[in-house]
């Protein structure tokens, strides 16, 4: 009873502190999620590892996952216990279903990562469940429960009652799911909100959003023995317009929009969400006020995901180097709710252990600190210092003082004024030309120092600036934005994070970004997934060509372009695919 009183008091206090955007208590009443169990590994997982992984991963040159070599006089039991210690770093106890041990052997169609040795598991297989149980903390006597939501993204309007239901959570060794215990956490909320959780132990939550923005709830479930890892659900609350889906491959109807409105809408989508709008989004959003559009786009959880995705790819944090810390995995959910400024976003990802694994001490770390964090080439002194740190020596760095290990150096850089300024400049460069970045930098720096709300208001002012909205000059999309837009425009869907990472790797492996873009366009057209019409199904050729210009470039064709593309469409060696390929591989589409 006393514990419940404490919880109610804490909830009441949280309701009063409406100006605090971050509403988390770190589950202070619960133990951390269970880690991998050695006995369960030896009994259940080791035989599978021996059968599927050992032939490669007990050898040199098999990547970072290196199993214990076979030695004379070492029993199988002892070897398997030694293997366990080498497997543990590939388990993420905070997000077990994202553990590299599991994803590396899972079919790509089920969300698996690329693996030189191929995939061994499907998501519905017993072996997959066995590995998932292991990374989730199963023991020979108990399987940990797992949180499950039917939808991890919920949309609502201000004042509308929202229900977040956790009753789909389960435990594989409990028949009566009513015995599960629940623990909810309000992880993030809009700065102006006073929403709080009154009953953390309910199986489902009901609340009424009191302001627009992103609300993030996390749930853990317990079976009386252990508590699961948390799983998050995001509730996006803002005024919405109805998006009408257009027929795949058909005429979108964008010619009903004013060209200026379409151009401004595309600019905001490309710059903030890192992708072009779907035809349905363009038709719905293109008729609302720019102020309303900007406000809503900045509140979207997609904005946070796009930003984290782009920074993560720039930092090299994907595939085997995917972030593993709780702060990094939840970062995308916090950005729109808390209006996080640039240095906080980048700092969270750079502090993740994967950053130092991706950029180990020595020249790689010096290059990463210089080019990725500070926006300049590393100095000779920094390269020498990084090499000495790699050898275990302490060094003194100008402006940072003495550091004794690579992580201490990284932390001091992330806390520095130079990093603060560089991160703000990088974010502004997403929206402004270099001259405007310099001109506006002082106000941006002042907004960041004033607080998160001031930063969001400043960013809104940039996106509402008439010079920004009416700018005619084109800027390169960059690989990530190009790929996201290509999926939307050609395949009419968003790419998964693994598709995006795989295609970024493909672009990096090719000579020249332009050639890589053209090759990917051709591959995607030939994939059979693109809903392109047959020539005989195009009833109005001029209107179809105009529609493609509006969808891909945000403008109608000139008279000369309409005539030229009409000839290509009707040519024996032409057709719809050739028209689409020409538009998507042109220099204008590669820009935003």
Instruction: Tokens for 520, please give them.
Output: 């990917």
Number of helical H runs and strand E runs in the chain: 28, 8
Q: Which of 421, 416, 386, 385 is nearest to 400 (CA)?
A: 416
Strand-pair partners of 233 = 217
Tell me the pLDDT of the chain (592 aa) as tens digits.
333 333 333 333 333 333 323 334 444 578 989 999 999 999 999 999 988 888 888 876 566 788 888 787 778 888 888 889 989 988 988 889 888 889 888 888 778 887 777 778 888 899 999 999 999 999 999 999 999 998 888 888 878 899 999 999 988 887 777 789 999 999 888 877 888 898 999 999 999 888 888 888 999 999 999 999 999 998 888 766 555 566 666 788 888 889 999 999 999 999 999 999 998 889 888 888 899 889 888 988 899 999 999 999 999 998 778 888 888 988 998 898 889 999 999 999 999 999 999 999 999 999 999 999 999 999 999 999 999 999 999 988 888 888 889 999 999 999 999 999 999 999 999 999 888 999 999 999 999 999 999 999 999 999 999 888 888 788 899 899 999 999 999 988 888 877 888 888 888 777 777 788 888 899 889 888 888 888 888 989 999 999 999 999 999 999 999 999 999 999 999 999 999 999 999 999 999 8
Give the DSSP H or E segment for 112: none
**Tokens 């950053």 found at:** 355
pTM over 0.85: no
CA atoms of 316 and 368, how far apart (whole Å):
10
Cα 417 from Cα 421, distance rounded (Å): 6
**CA-CA-CA-CA dihedral for 308, 312, 313, 317, to nearest 10:** -150
The pairs formed by 110-115 with CB atoms below 8 angstroms and a separation of 24 or more are: 111/496, 111/498, 112/498, 113/319, 113/320, 113/498, 114/319, 114/498, 114/502
Q: How far is CA 226 from CA 34, 143, 385, 407, in A?
A: 7, 9, 45, 33
Residue 249 carries which DSSP code? T
Phi then psi dihedrals of residue 442, to 5 deg: -60, -45
Give the number of other CB atoms < 10 A from CB of residue 27. 17
CATH number of 2-32+145-237: 2.60.40.10
Residue-range domain boundaries for the chain: 2-32+145-237, 38-135, 302-469
């Amino acid at each position: 009873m006393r514990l419940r009183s404490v919880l109610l008091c804490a909830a009441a206090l949280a309701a009063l502190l409406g100006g605090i955007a971050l509403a988390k208590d770190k589950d202070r009443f619960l133990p951390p999620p269970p880690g991998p169990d050695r006995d369960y590994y030896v009994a259940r997982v080791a035989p599978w590892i021996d059968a599927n992984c050992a032939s490669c991963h007990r050898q040199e040159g098999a990547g970072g996952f290196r199993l214990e070599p076979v030695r004379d006089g070492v029993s199988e039991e002892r070897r398997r216990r030694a293997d366990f210690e080498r497997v543990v770093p590939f388990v993420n106890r905070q997000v077990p279903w994202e553990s590299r041990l599991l994803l590396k052997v899972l079919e790509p169609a089920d969300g698996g990562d690329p693996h030189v040795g191929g995939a061994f598991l499907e998501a519905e297989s017993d072996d997959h469940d066995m590995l998932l149980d292991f990374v989730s903390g199963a023991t020979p006597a108990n399987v940990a429960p797992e949180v499950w939501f039917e939808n991890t993204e919920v949309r609502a309007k201000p004042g509308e009652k929202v229900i977040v239901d956790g009753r789909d959570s389960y435990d594989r060794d409990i028949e009566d799911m009513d015995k599960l215990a629940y623990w909810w956490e309000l992880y993030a909320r809009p700065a102006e909100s006073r929403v709080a959780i009154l009953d953390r132990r309910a199986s489902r939550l009901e609340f009424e959003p009191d302001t627009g923005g992103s609300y993030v709830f996390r749930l853990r479930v317990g079976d009386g023995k252990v508590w699961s890892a948390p799983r998050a659900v995001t509730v996006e609350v803002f005024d919405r317009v109805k998006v009408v889906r257009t027929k795949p491959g058909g005429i979108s109807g964008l010619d009903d929009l004013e060209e200026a409105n379409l151009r401004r809408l595309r600019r905001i989508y490309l710059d903030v969400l890192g992708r072009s709008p779907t035809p349905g989004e363009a038709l719905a959003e293109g008729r609302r006020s720019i102020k309303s559009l900007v406000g809503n786009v900045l509140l979207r959880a997609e904005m946070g995901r796009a930003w984290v995705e782009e920074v993560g790819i720039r930092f090299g944090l994907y595939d085997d180097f995917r972030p593993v810390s709780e702060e990094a995995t939840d970062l995308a959910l916090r950005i729109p709710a808390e209006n996080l400024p640039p240095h906080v976003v980048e700092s969270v990802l750079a502090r993740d252990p994967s950053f130092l694994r991706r950029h180990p001490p020595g020249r790689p770390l010096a290059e990463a600190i210089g080019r990725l964090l500070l926006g300049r080439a590393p100095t000779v002194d920094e390269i020498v210092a990084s090499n000495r740190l790699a050898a275990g020596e302490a060094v003194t760095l100008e402006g940072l003082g003495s550091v004794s290990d690579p992580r201490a150096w990284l932390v001091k850089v992330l806390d520095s004024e130079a990093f603060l300024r560089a991160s703000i400049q990088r974010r502004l460069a997403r929206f402004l030309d270099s001259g405007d970045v310099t001109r506006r930098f002082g106000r941006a720096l002042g907004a960041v120092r004033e607080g998160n709300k001031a930063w969001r208001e400043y960013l809104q002012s940039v996106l509402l600036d008439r010079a920004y909205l009416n700018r005619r000059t084109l800027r390169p999309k960059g690989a990530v934005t190009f790929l996201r837009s290509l999926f939307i425009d050609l395949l009419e869907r968003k790419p998964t994070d693994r598709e995006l990472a795989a295609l970024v790797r493909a672009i990096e492996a090719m000579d020249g970004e332009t050639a890589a873009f053209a090759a990917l366009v051709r591959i995607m057209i030939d994939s059979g997934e693109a809903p392109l019409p047959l020539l005989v199904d195009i009833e109005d050729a001029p209107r179809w060509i105009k529609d493609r210009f509006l969808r891909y470039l945000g403008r109608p064709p000139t008279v000369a372009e309409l005539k030229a593309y009409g000839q290509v469409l009707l040519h024996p060696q032409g057709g719809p695919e050739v028209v689409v390929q020409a538009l998507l591989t042109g220099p204008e589409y590669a820009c935003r």
